[in-house]
Structure 1
Amino acid sequence: MRREFAMPDVGEGLTEAEIIAWQVAPGDTVTVNQILCEIETAKAAVELPSPWAGTVGELLVEPGRTVDVGSPIIVIETAEAAPEPAAPAAPAKEEQGAKIGEAGKDGRIATLVGYGPRPGSVTRRPRKNAAPAPTPAPAAEPEPQPVASNGAVPLAKPPVRKLAKDLGIDLRTVTPSGADGIITRADVEAHATAPARPAVSSGGERREPIRGVRKATAAAVTGSAFTAPHVTEFLTIDITATMELRDRLRADRGYRDVKLTPLAFVAKAVCLAAARTPDLNARWDEAAGEIVYYDRVQLGIAAATPRGLIVPKIRDADTLSLRELAVALTELTDTARSGKTPPADLVGGTFTITNVGVFGVDTGTPILNPGEAGILAVGAIKPMPWVVDGELAVRTVCQLALSFDHRLVDGEQGSRFLADVGALLTDPGLALTW
């Protein structure tokens, strides 16, 4: 029978997604859970698995187009008989699991690629088979998106599409040489070795549609900047002792297999300081007229990726040891750079750290993530002249910048928090006294 697979509800309040690339073509045989395509939402890139086994009949959406949730994207011919139309049913049984976007028995939110974090835990339930989306509502006409230079959808077999994806090549820019305009492996390899040419118009400019992560980031920072009254304070600190401690720990047997970066020490200091000044681990709830204080620190780490800036979270960071934070940071950044961060890991933060120092920048004035009370920018770590016991010496120095929401954090609380973070990085032994 002919079955249309609609763009599923990926959860987290998202209503649309862009088809990045198809992994199948008409005539291909697919199995249950085989990846059909990769999509990009406003939060992350996600792979869509097939809910049925059968033969691909038709691709209904071209790569590069944005599709509303509920809109059909692919036709799969199956050998199964058509199911009877389902009448409105009672909520699904507990053993069947929660529907996508709804809370399950244990309070976790079901998402397309698994479940959100278990309360008080950083682990996830293994992903279950994706279910067909509910009956689609009438979809709006998608906005025009660029296709191949000749106006057609690029044609290529799945192995060729995978090769292009691995090489970071957009098939729309490859000139086909195969029969009927099919792009071959040789075409992709030739394109990869050809000299790069700037994609400019006749007017000497390049235009790209505003969409995906870039569109979401723009909306978030604009809303934050004009909603929460920002205050930013700066502090320059001597972190020589912290860097010496890092060198000693690297030689320790317990840390030999861990990538221990200065950011791990900053994360630990932030968690300890938040326990002393809980105003920085809070949220202003305008609708309820309340300030929400959190028991746990859901620590966001700003990460630059090929698709733009995202802020994945380390769940319950305040419960983790320094070593566990270092491991979590490595996993988080590796996943973000590969574009595989699940949408559930991008929401629910309570405080954020942004490391501008990796770009050689001394400091900045970070913008709050919506719904969070504070964000800490960590500047470049470098040797500088410093006065120690009345004598000039060369020390390892770093600048911190803390932005906070002045509606719920006064200058006293913000200054105390920043001073505590600075004190811990200046003398990490203080942690034993807190």
Structure 2
Amino acid sequence: MIEYRNVRVALLGAGSVGSQVARLLLEQSDELAGRAGAGLELTGIAVRDLDATRDVDLPRELLTTDAESLILGADIVVELIGGIEPARSLVLKALNSGADVITGNKALLASHGPELFRAAEQVGAQLYYEAAVAGAIPIIRPLRESLAGDTVERVMGIVNGTTNFILDRMDTLGESLDDALAYATELGYAEADPTADIEGYDAAQKATILASLAFHTSVPLVAVHREGITGVTHEQVVAARKAGYVVKLLAICERLVDDEGVAGVSARVHPSLVPLGHPLAAVHGAKNAVFVEAQAAGDLMFYGAGAGGVETASAVLGDLVSAARRHVIGGPGLAESNHADLRILPIGTVTTRYQITLDVTDQPGVLATVAGILSHHGVSVETVQQTSGSQSVTGPGEAPATATLIIGTHRAREASLAATVADLTTAPVVNSVTSVLRVEGA
């Protein structure tokens, strides 16, 4: 048997993930070579600061600040810098040189994915990105390859571990959002500036990637409806549990048909009520999970660590072995499939169930008035819970008594629900619309 030469691997970035990739590549070189069919030679690691403190003690002779020269001498480039620039320029340079690229950079793929895939296709290179969504969980390859012969109807997932950790503590321990966030920061789950996580930006980037893969359609980041968890209160979480739900921040990508019968896709991120019997309701702590609904395969669940240096490194090394095998066997890279080119539909076309919480004046006829507003917009009431907020009888000069109404609806269009909420906000008997949560997975 003719032995294939070593496959030259350039690593860009030596942070928490990059340093673990380097360590495992060096420590397990023989085992990885056996799986790949060729030796994997780490030719260098591009870093910003040669003297920075790192999680792993890396060989000094492998470190360099000259990323461009390192790229030009590589067969495979692993980009773990993060952010847009200089990552975008370096990835394009690698692809244009004919090298395969492995990246865990969700922000880069969400913003510049089509550009990068075109560059790879033009030279027959391959862009791998299993680590970009849900850390160690294998979800990209199943959508890209295993389900390529099926029709995926819906992808629904917990793809941000920080927000799941926070919401889980609010549910199981009764903590406030601020207290749970503080503890997540202390443990290192949340950054000093947690905006990307708690406002849903991180999950929206991942939704873009998942939707584009699942539906063979380029779904731009700007088309993803995004809501964070900052408005979720302790009271909402308690009410959800009493009603048989748990609150989760979900990324939801699905096929839809609009009012004119035109098929399309939608991607959205927002807090949702998940029934306690649904598999996603049992995802605790900082774990991630993705639930896929396909026509032939049925329901599929992918669960595991959504972050962490060594966990994410596992996904990177899986891509690395696949890329090395392609070099050994030969042949062009697998191009991205955007042949469906489905219409991107706004969130107004989404149909789901809702839970609306209202602060209302506690007086006769309030429920009839509220029900009438819902009926006017074609939103059907399924359940109603009422809790008095103060005494039902008031004296002269006292503020009117109030009550809380929690209304569960049957399935309705998002556009109809939005119009309903707008009218409820201005109704004389409604003091405020406290919250609106969508029910998913029921």
With the shorter chain as reference, the TM-score category is: under 0.3
The two structures have a TM-score, normalised by structure 1, of 0.26
Relative to the length of structure 2, the TM-score reads 0.26
Higher-helix-fraction structure: 2
